[in-house]
């Protein structure tokens, strides 16, 4: 079993839809959970960052971590065409996880249609 699993999609939704992106993981030592967004022909950029379990909200974006199920989610409300991108989950351990130990999902390509 891979450490981090992410459905690669692609996912296509109409503008205004609620989008749910998910990752599962197997390493119970993961404590830091991130979502990166990557536009076409660009590098990934950090979108959301959470530590341990719970929810974190930033505008239309909500990151959710369920450590008991080893499952993380990113919700996008009122999705816009500008949200069309590839979304990568990433996670790391505590306390000694260096950047080189960051584990990425393969990414889910999202298209929001006007």
Partner 1 sequence: DVKVTQSSRYLVKRTGEKVFLECVQDMDHENMFWYRQDPGLGLRLIYFSYDVKMKEKGDIPEGYSVSREKKERFSLILESASTNQTSMYLCASSFVGTNEKLFFGSGTQLSVL
Instruction: Sort strands 108-113 and 85-93 into parallel, antiparallel or unpaired.
Output: antiparallel
Tell me: cis bond preceding 18? Omega within 30 of 0 counts: no
Cβ(35)–Cβ(63) under 8 Å?
Answer: yes
Which window, 13-21, 58-66, 70-78, 101-109, contacts partner 1 (CB under 8 A)? 101-109
Question: Per rule CB under 8 A, is residue 97 in the interface with partner 1?
Answer: yes
User: Contact, 25 vs 4, CB < 8 A?
Assistant: yes
Q: Does 41 bind partner 1 (CB under 8 A)?
A: yes
Query: Which one among 24, 44, 72, 74 touches partner 1, defined by CB under 8 A?
Result: 44
SS3 61: strand
**Cβ proximity to partner 1, 18 vs 46, nearer residue:** 46
**Does residue 34 bind partner 1 (CB under 8 A)?**
yes
- Interacting residues toward partner 1 by CB under 8 A: 8, 32, 34, 36, 41-46, 49, 88, 90, 92, 94, 97-102, 104-107
């Amino acid at each position: 079993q891979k450490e981090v699993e992410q459905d690669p999609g692609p996912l296509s939704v109409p503008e205004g839809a609620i989008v749910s992106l998910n990752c599962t993981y197997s390493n119970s030592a993961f404590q830091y959970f991130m979502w990166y967004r990557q536009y076409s022909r660009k590098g990934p950029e950090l979108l959301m960052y959470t530590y341990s379990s719970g929810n974190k909200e930033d505008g239309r974006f909500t990151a959710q971590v369920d450590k008991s199920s080893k499952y993380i989610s990113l919700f996008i409300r009122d999705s816009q065409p500008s949200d069309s991108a590839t979304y990568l989950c990433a996670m790391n351990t505590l306390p000694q996880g260096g950047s080189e130990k960051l584990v990425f999902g393969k990414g889910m390509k999202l298209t929001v249609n006007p």
